[in-house]
Amino acid sequence: MSQRWLQHALRGTTWRMQRQAVALAGLGIFIAIIIGALYLAQSASVASLGRQLEGMIARRNQLEQTNEQLRSEIAQLRSVPRLLARAQEMGFVPAGRENIEYLVVDGYNPNRKPVAVVTEEPPEALPDYEESFTGWLQQQWDSFVRQFRSFTTGE
């Protein structure tokens, strides 16, 4: 019964109408695919950046550890017994009181007040980096506007 009804219904439609329906459905699928593709591209981009970030964090941690290791080695190399031995190798001897002469310079006050130094204003902070779809669109738009302006003004 239902099959007959369907055949009857289909026979009653024109090919033109079928083509319209198919085109509409195809368009819908196409739009959905485009949106899906954009979404997937965005997700893949996020995942990729996430991986890059993880890698950079790991690299940063490793560099920090290496730095710390190097600082430790420097501290060992600069320990007093080593410096003393090295200085003696180079012919230095510990200074005694008889080797030290204090000079009193007329008018010099070692406890004078420090002179204030005026420093320059710190440079303006850079804007935060935003990596998102809207951010990307904004960047593209800004870039387009800049190009358009430079084209119109001839700069």
Partner 1 sequence: MAAQGTLNQQEIFNRRLPIVVVLMIVASGLLLLRLISFQQLAPEVLTELSTDYNRTVRLAAARGIIYDRRGQRLAVNTLEYRIGVSPNLVANAQRTATQLASILNMDELRAYEAVTSDEPWVLLAPRVKAEVGQQIEQMKLDLQLPSVTIEKIPLRSYPQGTLAAHILGYVSGDLQGYYGVEGYYQEQLAGRAVNSVVSSIPFDQTDTQEPGRGSDIYLTIDRDLQYVVESELQLAVNETSATGGTIIVMNPRTGDILAMANYPSFDPNAYSNVTDQRAWNNPAISGQYEPGSVFKVLTVAAALDKGVITPQWTYNDQGQLNVGGVTIQNWDRGAHGAVDVTGVLVQSLNVGAATISTALGPTNFYSELAQFGMGRLTGVNLEGEAAGTMHVPGDTDWSESNLGTNSFGQGLAVTPLQMITAISAIANDGLMMQPNIVQKIVTNGQEVLSQRVPLGRPISAEVAHQVRDMMVAVVRDGLDDKALLPGYTLAGKTGTAEIPTPVGYRDDAWIMSFIGFLPADEPQVIILYKLDEPNGRWASEVVAPLFRRLAERLVILLEIPPDDVRQALKAQGGIVSGQ
Contact residues: partner 1, CB under 8 A: 6-7, 10-11, 13, 18, 21-22, 25, 29, 32, 36, 43, 46-47, 50-51, 53, 57, 64-66, 68-69, 71-73, 75-76, 78-81, 95-97, 100, 102, 104, 106-112
Return the number of the residue (135 or 148) whose C-beta is nearest partner 1: 135
82 vs 146, which CB is nearer to partner 1?
82
Geometric angle at alpha carbon 129, from 135 and 154, rounded to 5°: 70
Give whole-number Cα distances, 36 to 39, 44, 133, 138, in Å: 5, 12, 14, 21
Q: Which is nearer to partner 1, 89 or 155 (CB)?
A: 89
The distance of closest approach from Cβ of residue 23 to partner 1 in the complex, given in angstroms and rounded to an integer, is 11
Q: Which residue has the tokens 């410096």?
A: 83
Minimum distance from CB of 126 to partner 1 (Å)? 20
Environment class of 45 (CB within 10 Å of its CB; exposed 0-12, middle 13-18, buried 19+): middle
- Least distance to partner 1 from the beta carbon of 134, Å? 18
Measured from the CB of residue 118, what is the shortest distance to partner 1 in angstroms?
Answer: 23
Comparing CB distances to partner 1, the nearer of 75 and 90 is 75
Burial 20-44 (b: 16+ CB within 10 A, else e): eeeeeeeeeeeeeeeeeeeeeeeee
Minimum distance of partner 1 from residue 116's CB (angstroms): 19
Q: What CA–CA distance (Å, rounded) separates 69 from 83?
A: 20
Nearest residue (CB) to partner 1, 23 versus 145: 23
Q: How far apart are CA 151 and CA 135, in angstroms?
A: 24
